[in-house]
Structure 1
Amino acid sequence: MSDKTLALSNDKMIAGVCGGIADYFGWSSGGVRLAYVLLSVLSAAFPGLFIYIVLWLLMPKKDTI
């Protein structure tokens, strides 16, 4: 079992969602942000924005874990 937890990152531009996902999977935070923006733009923006806000509300802060 892994002790990794998906949490908001301190490496953030807005809320830390993309940084937290990058930390969890061991990816580059810039790459995750770029992929998120591309997916949001290609999906007419609303679904990407909605998912970001939901994750922002549901993901715990890294310092509270």
Structure 2
Amino acid sequence: MASQLVRPRNGKVIAGVCAALAARFGISKTLVRLLFVIFGLVGAGEIAYIILWIVIPKSY
């Protein structure tokens, strides 16, 4: 499991938020993306994604 939460430069679809969360917690990127879609349909997934996009630094 990765020790830092950083957005990757490769393997991302939009901003790398789901890829960063999946790498940090050792779970599938597809599962994280699916959870964000479900959360977006029933809650505020888009707002959470944008906030995480701003907060999580990009890898160098």
Tell me which interval the TM-score lies in, with the shorter structure as reference length.
Answer: 0.7 to 0.9
Task: Tell me whether 1:53 sits opposite 2:50 in the alignment.
Answer: yes
Over 3 Å counting, the alpha-carbon distance change for 1:23 and 1:50 in structure 2 is same
Shift of 1:40: 1.0
4+ runs deviating over 4 angstroms: none
Aligned length: 59
Shift of 1:3: 6.5
Q: Over aligned residues, Cα RMSD in angstroms?
A: 1.6
* Aligned residue runs from structure 1 range 35-46, under 5 A: 35-43=35-43
Q: Give the alignment's TM-score, normalised by structure 1.
A: 0.80
Shift of 1:25: 0.4
Q: Give the alignment's TM-score, normalised by structure 2.
A: 0.86
CA distance in 2, matches of 1:41, 1:13: 19
CA distance in 2, matches of 1:61, 1:23: 13
User: % of aligned pairs identical?
Assistant: 39
Question: 5+ residue gaps in structure 2?
Answer: none
> Which amino acid in 2 is paired with 1:49?
E
